[in-house]
Structure 1
Amino acid sequence: MDIRSAIAIFTAAATLAGCDFMSSDQSKASPVRPEVGVVTLHPRNVAIISELPGRVVASLVAEVRPQVAGIIQKRLFQEGGEVAEGAPLYQIDPAPYRAAHDSAVAALQKAEAAVPSVQAKVERYQGLSKKNAVSTQDLEAAIAALAQARADVATARANVASAKINLDYTIIKAPIGGRTDKSSLTQGALVTAGQADTLTTIRTLDPIHVDLARSSAAMLDLRRAMNEGRLNSSERNVVVKLRLDNGWVYPMTGRLEFTEAKVSQTTGTVTLRATFPNPSRLLLPGMYARAIVEEGVAPGGFLVPQRAVVRNIKGEATALVLDKDDKIEERVLSVGKTIGNNWLVTAGVGDGDRVVVEGLQLVRAGRQAIGVEVVIDDATGELREREPTTAKIQAKG
């Protein structure tokens, strides 16, 4: 064997030995740790928001009906327009009522004219009675006649007032201010006092009410949370926002006025009423809306993204947490309300815990992982941004 062949054989042997050594090293190396996205939790005061279904209703409603009978001469308002309280709406033919009023005035004048003569007779009889020139019976009769004359005056005066009221009723006025509906009758129509058919309807639209429905169970949960100190709430001056049927949020806020002291036997709900300013008349009675009600504040709550929470075979809410040693730990959570795309968690996590929100399928409890801070978009629940991880991976490696 020459020198060149010996060198070749030695080189090949060294190469094979090196390969065996590297394979042995790699087999002893630890497995590659998966990278997971995490969100670090911190306690905060969480506003508890509820969305309640409701209907818009007018704050005042008045059905206009005639109070005297007659023929409608004129309609004095524009249909669908705004009217002020006391504004004239219809003119009923006033001729018969004016005549009745004038007759009542004449009867009053006649009754008043009869009083002075009877008064004088009584005074004369009183003087003669002192001289025994007139009998007591005649004096008493004169006094009774005077009382009758005065009563006739009072009756006639009341008839004048009644006739004046009926004459005034020939102009039908708006009992409240607001927007009118269409007129159900036109000029020339005959109306009667207190008829069933309305002439028009007036609705006050500013301010306007929204009647909301809340389940009695939700009401009890709210009371319990307040009693246990898990929720700080002031039932006075509760601010309410409104989401309209097309998804648009009404630009003006309202206030919760009251809660009914009864539960509907058919729906099991309690009615709440909120009042909103409505200067542009955008809100109309009958509209469907959802009220966004801030019921209170949960002090020291934790918001865990919904995408991080899963249910185990027992039905418990669980999440994977990356501890300080970068080891995966499964936690059982006590979850409350949903706040946007998060769960309000009252137990199971603490300040500084890193909850896994991305890469859940890559890890399991007891294994190690590399945690990468991510940011969750509260509006969509999706990842919004991610921190660079190259330097962290190199440092971990």
Structure 2
Amino acid sequence: MHSTRHAHDAHPPRRLYRHASLALAITAALALAACGDKPAEGQAPAAAAGQAPQVQVGVVVATPGDVGLVTELPGRVEASRVAQVRARSAGILLERLFREGSDVKAGQALYRIDAASYEATAQSARAALARSEANLIQAQAQLERYKPLVEANAISKQEFVNAEAAYKQALADVAAGKANVRTADISLGYAKVTAPISGRIGQSLVTEGALVGQGEATPLAVIQQIDPVYINFTQSSSEAFKLRKAMAEGKLKKASGNDAASVKVVLEDGSVYERTGKLLFTDLSVDSATGQVTLRAEVPNPKGMLLPGLYVRVQVEQAQVSNAITLPQQAVTRTETGDTVSIVGDDGKITKRTIKVGAAQDQQWVVLEGLKAGEKVMVDGFQKLQMLPPGTPVTPVPWKAPGSAPAAAPAAEAAPAAGAPAAAAAK
């Protein structure tokens, strides 16, 4: 009996184990229920309650101002002054006095032509002039002797008239002799070919020993003045007409008042030339074959980077729009029926708005009508809204251009979902 009682005390009834297990299960259920009532750490209350978080969208604020209408057109570089160097005296070319491709000054000697025959002609002309001057002295002396004699009737009047005619003829011979000397000196001077203008000279078209100037003025070289340079470009006559009409109606104003419009040059590699030029003139006639109007700009070229014949693109600001708003191109939806944008209101609701845009400037549209100052225009976040029902409010944040640091993710999106295993384990 004693031993049986001790064995019963060492092994309690199974009913006690069942009661203990039930109590532990109830305690664990209450603890889990208490954890479920509280949001997970770092989780927004709206997300914990099963509500969709607000989506952040990039917006820009409409800000009016004066916007220049920049037109980009193709053009060609042309030297501001071009002069052909030609041989005006016939003879054998003896020497070239310049380096090809160098800068020369006006009046600088470039070539030397054999001048022996021209020197002889000049000497002969001077000798003839000296003889004419001697005859003039004799005729003048004889006329002075005949004056008192004709008054005293010592000689006939005919003799006096002959003496006076001889004097005047001697004067004419002297004048002709001086002209012949001048002509001979000019021909002799042509034997030394000089630069007509300052600029950069190209290659020599002839070599030493060549016979030049025989029958015609032989081309020897070309000098071009490339500082500044001209850029000739064309614009559609319809665009030019619309621009002038808008200015006449007061919709646009001149870019620089009474001054010439500024011009920027875009090189073949896409870079912008460091110097800014000015628009010189717009041609008054339209090319009947192409329907284009020719324009010319003048651009400084002190380093000689712009060479004649170079293809460039010209950005010219011909007019300005007053109180205009610019928007990134991706913010505007362009269709056949019109251009629309998405406006984010103060309540976060998005509404569509039809606007009127003008020309594109630096990857932005110039808005002419349809927007007010201070309105928030949606630029980024359109894909996010496709997953949400219409009318879902959004959170506007300043839009950043591509390449800048992206906006921080919303806290609700970064937090773990309610009931996640990690959160349950933490509890």
TM-score, normalized by the shorter chain, greater than 0.5: yes
Structure 2 equivalent of residue 201 of structure 1:
222
Note if 1:59 corresponds to 2:80.
yes
Note if 1:373 corresponds to 2:397.
yes
Equivalent AA in structure 1 for residue 369 of structure 2: A
* Offset at residue 366 of structure 1 (A): 6.6
**Distance (whole Å) between structure 2 residues aligned to residue 146 and residue 197 of structure 1:** 44
Alignment length (residue pairs): 373
How far does the alpha carbon of each residue in 1:164-197 deviate from its partner, in whole angstroms, 9 at most, with x for none? 0000110010001111111111111101257364
Structure 1 equivalent of residue 357 of structure 2:
335
Cα distance change, pair 29–247 in 1 and its aligned pair in 2 (3 A): closer
How far does the alpha carbon of each residue in 1:36-76 deviate from its partner, in whole angstroms, 9 at most, with x for none? 33222221222322222111111111111111111111111
Equivalent AA in structure 2 for residue 325 of structure 1: D
Cα distance change, pair 123–140 in 1 and its aligned pair in 2 (3 A): same
* Offset at residue 383 of structure 1 (A): 6.9
Contact 2:58 2:399 in 1 (8 A): no
Structure 1 equivalent of residue 295 of structure 2:
272
**What do you get for the CA RMSD once the two structures are aligned?**
3.0
Of residues 241, 247, 261, the one that matches 1:220 is 241
* Offset at residue 393 of structure 1 (A): 8.9
Contact 2:212 2:218 in 1 (8 A): no
**Distance (whole Å) between structure 2 residues aligned to residue 214 and residue 197 of structure 1:** 39
* Offset at residue 276 of structure 1 (A): 1.9
Q: How does 1:284-363 map to 2 (within 5 A)?
A: 284-312=307-335, 314-361=336-383, 363=385
**Distance (whole Å) between structure 2 residues aligned to residue 212 and residue 254 of structure 1:** 13
* Offset at residue 133 of structure 1 (A): 1.6
Structure 1 equivalent of residue 419 of structure 2:
none
**Distance (whole Å) between structure 2 residues aligned to residue 236 and residue 208 of structure 1:** 19
How far does the alpha carbon of each residue in 1:95-148 deviate from its partner, in whole angstroms, 9 at most, with x for none? 000000000000000000011211122122221111112111111111111111
Contact 1:372 1:389 in 2 (8 A): no
Q: How does 1:127-276 map to 2 (within 5 A)?
A: 127-192=148-213, 195=216, 197-233=218-254, 234=257, 236-276=259-299
Contact 2:121 2:184 in 1 (8 A): yes
In structure 2, the residue corresponding to 1:280 is in which secondary structure?
A: coil
Note if 1:87 corresponds to 2:108.
yes
**Distance (whole Å) between structure 2 residues aligned to residue 393 and residue 299 of structure 1:** 43
* Offset at residue 386 of structure 1 (A): 4.5
In structure 2, the residue corresponding to 1:273 is in which secondary structure?
A: strand
**Distance (whole Å) between structure 2 residues aligned to residue 98 and residue 320 of structure 1:** 88
* Offset at residue 385 of structure 1 (A): 4.3
* Offset at residue 30 of structure 1 (A): 7.8
In structure 2, the residue corresponding to 1:220 is in which secondary structure?
A: helix
Equivalent AA in structure 2 for residue 108 of structure 1: L
Note if 1:390 corresponds to 2:404.
no
Cα distance change, pair 288–393 in 1 and its aligned pair in 2 (3 A): same
In structure 1, the residue corresponding to 2:135 is in which secondary structure?
A: helix
Of residues 144, 147, 152, the one that matches 1:126 is 147
Q: How does 1:22-33 map to 2 (within 5 A)?
A: none
Contact 2:58 2:397 in 1 (8 A): yes
Cα distance change, pair 82–192 in 1 and its aligned pair in 2 (3 A): same
**Distance (whole Å) between structure 2 residues aligned to residue 217 and residue 272 of structure 1:** 14
TM-score normalised by structure 1 residue count? 0.85
**Distance (whole Å) between structure 1 residues aligned to residue 70 and residue 261 of structure 2:** 11
Contact 1:56 1:286 in 2 (8 A): yes
Equivalent AA in structure 1 for residue 352 of structure 2: E
Structure 2 equivalent of residue 98 of structure 1:
119
Gaps of 5+ in 2: 1-18, 38-46, 415-427
**Distance (whole Å) between structure 1 residues aligned to residue 213 and residue 167 of structure 2:** 40
Equivalent AA in structure 1 for residue 167 of structure 2: L
**Distance (whole Å) between structure 2 residues aligned to residue 288 and residue 109 of structure 1:** 61
* Offset at residue 285 of structure 1 (A): 0.4
Larger CA deviation: 89-98 vs 43-52: 43-52
In structure 2, the residue corresponding to 1:278 is in which secondary structure?
A: coil
**Distance (whole Å) between structure 2 residues aligned to residue 76 and residue 258 of structure 1:** 39
Contact 2:342 2:378 in 1 (8 A): yes
Cα distance change, pair 328–232 in 1 and its aligned pair in 2 (3 A): same
Larger CA deviation: 196-205 vs 111-120: 196-205
Structure 1 equivalent of residue 92 of structure 2:
71
TM-score normalised by structure 2 residue count? 0.79
* Offset at residue 212 of structure 1 (A): 2.0
Contact 2:347 2:393 in 1 (8 A): no
* Offset at residue 155 of structure 1 (A): 0.5
**Distance (whole Å) between structure 2 residues aligned to residue 259 and residue 141 of structure 1:** 68
Contact 2:58 2:400 in 1 (8 A): no
Of residues 273, 290, 306, the one that matches 1:283 is 306
Equivalent AA in structure 1 for residue 392 of structure 2: Q
* Offset at residue 31 of structure 1 (A): 6.9
Which structure has the bigger radius of gyration? 2
In structure 2, the residue corresponding to 1:176 is in which secondary structure?
A: coil
Gaps of 5+ in 1: none
